[in-house]
Amino acid sequence: MAAQNADKTILVIGTYDTKDDELGFLAQVIRDQGGKVVTMDVSVLGDPSRPCDHSKHDVAREGGSSIQAAIDSGDENHAMQIMAQGASLLAARLYTQGAFDGMIVLGGTMGTDLALDVASALPLGVPKYIVSTVSFSPLIPADRLAADTQMILWAGGLYGLNSVCKASLSQAAGAVLGAARAVQMPDPDKPLIGMMSLGTSALKYVVPLKPALEERGFEVAVFHATGMGGRAFESLAAQGAFACVFDFCTQELGNHIHGSNISAGTDRLTNAGKSGTPQIVAPGCYDLVDVVGWKPIDDKWRNHLKHAHNRLLTSVVLNAEDCKQVARAHSRQLATATSPVALILPEHGLGEWDREGADLHNPEGLAAFFAELEATLPETVTAQRIACHINDAAFAATALEIFDGWCAEGIVA
């Protein structure tokens, strides 16, 4: 990549046959701020007003197809998937060649679909901005988002330039160029630990574990288990970004199987194992399903204990049968691991609100969960019960003991 204080180059991607003016405006704002621009056309039917650095034919060819094949398909969805494949491969290759420092894609639903693939093809730390008419929409599933994707809502951007959409586009241009100038890329030489948690009002093990792991020479990235955090964690785990994971809050898995919108996707608790990354796991807050706090709560939760965490989020406490379903899901996901898995089961509870005497204490759920889990776990998972709560010092000490043993054996390097 170019030196930190040099002009940065931004890859601008879009359908230049329908959004030529908007893309041209975006590029000009970047240039006016001292940046450089490389353009990529992902149109199918039409042509830009002036040639792009990487034409639609280059894009389709990179993906092993052609514009004619896209046209002949007679289906715009299939055609755009051809372009998405080519754009992803081309962007990844150009980045490895040092051709650009940040990426921005402009689009509606079709362009956003393509943009999500391109963002996922680029490494962590590369600024990746999507300016979309459907930013933050429920149309976008968690498992399509790269770990560090930035989205900007493209207000007034359906057709043609106007002062409303110029306000969005100019901010987006400044954001991606500023990000390219300011970004501090991850250090590939420092081993990284991925840890899942919630805020310290619910789970407190981060407080002792983070400094202890840093003293051992590891960097620690803690992900918030509220759907998008788990998605980012799984995305990086799939890339083999972690030396080891401390996956101590698996609540998103329960959210997913019980139908909550606060989901990290179908592959939660799988990608570390599939990439060969050692896992130390504890099912923190396994018995809570988070639901959107400002929406009416589904009737199926009517007789369950609830905790209104804030105006955005309410937690529902699962009953024993619900907990058994979550246990079986843990066993299914962990069975896919190709690397060592150590499962720690604190017998006194797995969330601060689940302590004896606390408002959400759930001994029946815990007993049912442990029994079902131990009955269904694959032999490849080493499980141990410990006589403490997940927020007790003994839990963190147990996790570090396992970790230190793996380091000594060379399982973690």
DSSP 8-state secondary structure symbol assigned to residue 83: H
Quick check: 173 pLDDT over 60? yes
Rounded Cα gap, residues 269 and 337, in angstroms:
9
* Distances in whole angstroms, Cα of residue 38 to Cα of each of 4, 91, 98, 123, 193: 18, 11, 12, 18, 35
Is the pLDDT confidence value at 4 over 50?
A: no
- The pLDDT of 107-123, averaged and rounded, is 95
Share of the chain above pLDDT 90, in %: 87
- As given in the structure block, the two tokens for residue 308 are 């209104």
Looking at every residue in the chain, the average pLDDT score rounds to 94
Averaged pLDDT, 118-127? 95
Task: Give residue-wise pLDDT tens across range 267-302.
Answer: 999 999 999 999 999 999 999 999 988 989 999 998
User: How confident is the model at residue 396, as a pLDDT?
Assistant: 98
Q: Find, among 99, 169, 80, the residue nearest to 132 by Cα.
A: 169
How would CATH label the architecture of 9-182? 3-Layer(aba) Sandwich (3.40)
Q: What is the DSSP string of 393-409?
A: HHHHHHHHHHHHHHHHH
Q: Cβ(251)–Cβ(260) under 8 Å? A: no
Question: In this predicted model, which residue has the larger pLDDT, 85 or 263?
Answer: 85
- pLDDT bracket for residue 410 (50, 70, 90): very high
CATH pick for 192-409 out of 3.40.50.2300, 3.40.50.300, 3.10.350.10, 3.40.50.12030:
3.40.50.12030
Q: Are 336 and 274 in contact (CB under 8 A)?
A: yes
pTM: 0.85
End-to-end CA gap in the chain: 28
Q: Confidence band (pLDDT; 50, 70, 90) for 53?
A: very high
Mean pLDDT score, 86-102:
98
Residue 12 confidence (pLDDT) = 98
Token pair for 140 = 């976008």
More confident residue, 125 or 156: 125
**pLDDT over threshold 90, residue 304:** yes
352-409 confidence digits (pLDDT tens): 999 999 989 999 999 999 999 999 999 999 999 999 999 999 999 999 999 999 999 9
Among the listed residues 173, 172, 155, the one whose alpha carbon sits nearest the alpha carbon of residue 164: 155
Contact of 278 with 337, CB cutoff 8 Å = no
Q: Where are the alpha helices (DSSP H) in 74-162?
A: 76-96, 109-121
| CA–CA separation, 310 and 328 (whole Å) | 30
How many Å apart are CA 126 and CA 204, to the nearest integer?
32
Provide the pLDDT for residue 2: 42
Angstrom distance (rounded) from CA 344 to CA 262: 25
Spans of all domains in the chain: 9-182, 192-409
> Could you read off the pLDDT of 207-229 as tens digits, one per residue?
999 999 999 999 999 999 999 89
pLDDT at position 196 is 98
Q: Among the listed ranges 42-46, 64-68, 146-150, which one has the minimum average pLDDT value? A: 146-150
- Asked if residue 6 has pLDDT above 90, the reply is no
Report yes or no: 261 and 316 within 8 Å, Cβ to Cβ.
no
Residue 5 clears pLDDT 80, i.e. is over it: no
Query: Which residue, among 272, 378, 239, 391, has the nearest Cα to 399 in the 3D structure?
Result: 391
Residue 3 has pLDDT above 80, yes or no: no
The average pLDDT across 38-47 equals 97
Structure tokens given for 68: 């004619």
Q: 1 falls in which pLDDT band (50, 70, 90)?
A: very low
Contacts of 260 (CB under 8 A, 6+ apart): 289, 290, 291
Q: In the β-sheet with 102-107, what is the strand arrangement from edge to edge? A: 36-41, 9-14, 102-107, 128-132, 150-153
Return all residues near 72 (Cβ < 8 A) that are at least 6 apart.
none
Q: What is the dihedral of CA 400, 404, 410, 413, to 10 degrees?
A: 60
What integer pLDDT is reported at residue 156 of this predicted model? 82
